[in-house]
C-alpha cells in the first residue's frame, strides 16, 4: 500500500521535526533514508570540499587527514534546516534540527587517530493524500528512524609529502514506516506497519598528498575509496484494521503479522578525488569529484516498484580566504571566510525521474581568542527533486554550526 507514496500527492503535509527526526523529506522513504552526513561544518561551507587537511580540524571523510593533526581535537556539529516542499498543487513548509557529528582526534608521532558517532541517514516524513472522486479516499503515510555510524580510523605520514589512512565503520539503526487508508463512510480503515532493524560494516581508505610549488603556493591532492558494505535489514510487516477514539487515539484491531523477507542492502562503494591549490593560512581553492556505485542499492522491502537506483556523481567547487591569520589588532581579519558550489545526482530514480540536488554554500570560521579552538558556521541554499511526474520539489536553507576544541594532551611535566 505504501509503495507509491509520491504518486500522486494531492495534499502534502509535513510536521515540524526536531533532533529525533533528522529529515522532513518524502524521499527518505527509499533506500537507506535521507543520507544526512555531508562533512563537518567547515567542509559543508565549502560545498563539501574535503581535500584540505590541517592540524586542528578533524576531516572524517578522508582518514589520511588524521596524520595532519598536531593537537588533540574534540568536535561536535549540529544543523537547523528549513524546507519548502512543493507539488503541482500544494506547498508546505517544514523545519528540523539535528546533531550532525561528535568526534575526537588524537595526534601521535607522524600520525593520528579519530573516532566518533555520526547520524548517517534519517527517515522522517508525514504525508496525506485525498482523492476527490467517489468514494473519497484518504491515505496517510509516516516514517521515522534512521541509521547511525560509529567509526574508528587512523592516518600515518609514510613520506614527507604523502599520508595514508583507513577507518572501519559500524552502522546500526531502526526504521519504521506506516501507511493508513480510509474510505469515506466506512467505519474502519486499514493500516500497514513496516519495521526494519539495520546493521553492518564498511571500510574507507584514504590518501593525502601535499607539495610546495614555490615559496608561496602549495598543491594538495586527496583520494578516498569506501568499499562496498553489506547492511543486513531484519524486516517485519503487520496489517490491521484501525479506528480512532473520540480523543484521537489510534486503536488497532486484529493485527496480523505478514511474512516478509529479510534483505541485504548494498552500501555503495564510493571513490572521491580532489585537488586544490593555495597559500598556507591565507587562501585555498579546490574541486572534488565523487562517484558512488549506488546502482546496487536496494530498498528495505522488495515490493517497491516505482523506484530504481543509478550510480551517483557529485561535483564540488569551494575554498576559503583568511585576510590576516596573525593579526593582533583586527579580530575580523583572523576569520576564515568560506564559499562553495555543489551539484549532485543522488542516484535515486522515481517514476523514471532522476532526483538531483544543487547547493550554494557560505561560511565563517571564528577563532576563540587565547586558544586554537574555533567556531565554524555554514549557510547553505539548495534545491532537490522536481514537481513533474507527481514528485516533490524541495527548496531548502540549512544553517550548520560546528565547535572545534583543540589543546595539547599527554605532555610530560618539566617540573615536579
The string of pLDDT tens digits covering residues 46-97 is 999 999 888 888 998 999 999 999 999 999 999 999 999 998 888 888 888 8
pLDDT on residue 303: 59
Give the pLDDT confidence of 231-285 residue by residue, as tens digits: 999 999 999 988 876 666 777 788 888 888 888 888 889 999 999 999 998 999 9
CA 363/CA 374 separation, integer angstroms:
13
CB 237 within 8 A of CB 257: yes
Contacts of 415 (CB under 8 A, 6+ apart): none
pLDDT on residue 246: 63
pLDDT on residue 7: 38
Q: Looking up cell 572524517, which residue turns up?
A: 60
CB 182 within 8 A of CB 249: no
- Of all helices (H) and strands (E), which one includes residue 266? strand 263-267
- E strands in 245-352: 250-258, 263-267, 270-279, 283-292, 307-309, 312-321, 336-350
- Listed as ranges, residues in the chain with pLDDT below 50 are 1-20, 411, 413-416
pLDDT on residue 383: 96
pLDDT on residue 294: 87
Beta bridge partners of 267: 229
Q: Is 68 helix (H, G, I), strand (E, B) or coil?
A: helix
pLDDT on residue 22: 66
pLDDT on residue 6: 44
CB 344 within 8 A of CB 10: no
CA 32/CA 355 separation, integer angstroms:
15
Q: Looking up cell 610530560, which residue turns up?
A: 412
Cell of 317: 567547487
Contacts of 53 (CB under 8 A, 6+ apart): 59, 62, 64, 65, 68, 163, 208, 210, 220, 222
Q: Looking up cell 532537490, which residue turns up?
A: 384
Q: What is the pTM of this model?
A: 0.87
Amino acid at each position: 500500500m505504501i509503495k507509491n507514496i509520491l504518486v500522486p500527492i494531492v495534499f502534502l503535509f509535513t510536521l515540524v521535526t526536531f533532533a529525533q527526526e533528522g529529515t522532513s523529506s518524502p524521499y527518505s522513504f527509499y533506500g537507506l533514508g535521507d543520507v544526512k552526513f555531508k562533512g563537518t561544518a567547515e567542509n559543508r561551507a565549502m560545498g563539501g570540499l574535503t581535500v584540505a587537511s590541517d592540524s586542528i580540524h578533524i576531516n572524517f571523510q578522508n582518514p589520511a587527514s588524521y596524520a595532519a593533526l598536531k593537537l588533540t581535537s574534540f568536535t561536535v556539529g549540529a544543523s537547523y534546516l528549513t524546507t519548502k516542499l512543493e507539488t503541482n498543487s500544494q506547498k508546505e513548509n517544514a523545519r528540523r534540527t539535528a546533531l550532525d557529528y561528535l568526534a575526537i582526534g588524537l595526534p601521535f608521532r607522524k600520525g593520528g587517530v579519530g573516532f566518533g558517532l555520526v547520524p548517517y541517514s534519517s527517515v522522517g516524513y508525514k504525508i496525506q493524500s485525498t482523492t476527490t472522486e467517489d468514494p473519497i479516499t484518504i491515505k496517510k503515510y509516516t516514517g521515522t528512524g534512521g541509521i547511525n555510524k560509529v567509526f574508528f580510523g587512523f592516518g600515518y605520514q609514510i613520506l614527507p609529502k604523502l599520508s595514508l589512512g583507513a577507518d572501519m565503520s559500524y552502522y546500526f539503526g531502526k526504521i519504521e514506516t506506516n501507511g493508513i487508508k480510509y474510505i469515506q463512510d466506512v467505519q474502519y480503515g486499514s493500516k500497514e506497519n513496516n519495521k526494519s532493524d539495520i546493521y553492518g560494516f564498511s571500510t574507507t581508505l584514504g590518501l593525502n598528498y601535499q607539495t610546495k610549488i614555490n615559496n608561496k603556493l602549495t598543491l594538495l591532492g586527496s583520494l578516498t575509496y569506501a568499499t562496498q558494505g553489506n547492511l543486513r535489514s531484519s524486516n517485519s510487516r503487520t496489517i490491521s484494521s484501525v479506528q480512532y477514539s473520540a480523543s484521537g487515539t489510534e486503536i488497532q484491531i486484529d493485527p496480523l503479522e505478514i511474512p516478509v523477507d529479510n534483505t541485504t542492502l548494498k552500501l555503495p562503494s564510493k571513490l572521491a578525488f580532489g585537488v586544490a591549490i593555495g597559500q598556507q593560512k591565507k587562501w585555498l581553492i579546490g574541486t572534488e569529484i565523487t562517484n558512488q556505485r549506488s546502482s546496487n542499492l536496494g530498498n528495505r522491502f522488495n515490493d517497491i516498484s516505482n523506484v530504481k537506483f543509478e550510480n551517483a556523481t557529485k561535483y564540488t567547487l569551494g575554498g576559503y580566504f583568511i585576510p590576516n591569520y596573525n593579526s593582533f589588532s583586527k579580530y575580523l581579519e583572523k576569520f576564515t571566510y568560506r564559499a562553495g558550489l555543489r551539484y549532485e545526482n543522488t542516484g535515486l530514480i522515481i517514476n523514471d525521474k532522476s532526483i538531483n540536488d544543487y547547493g550554494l554554500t557560505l561560511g565563517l570560521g571564528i577563532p576563540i581568542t587565547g586558544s586554537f579552538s574555533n567556531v565554524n558556521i555554514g549557510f547553505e541554499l539548495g534545491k532537490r527533486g522536481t514537481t513533474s511526474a507527481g514528485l516533490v520539489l524541495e527548496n531548502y536553507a540549512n544553517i550548520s554550526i560546528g565547535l572545534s576544541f583543540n589543546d595539547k594532551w599527554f605532555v610530560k611535566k618539566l617540573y615536579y
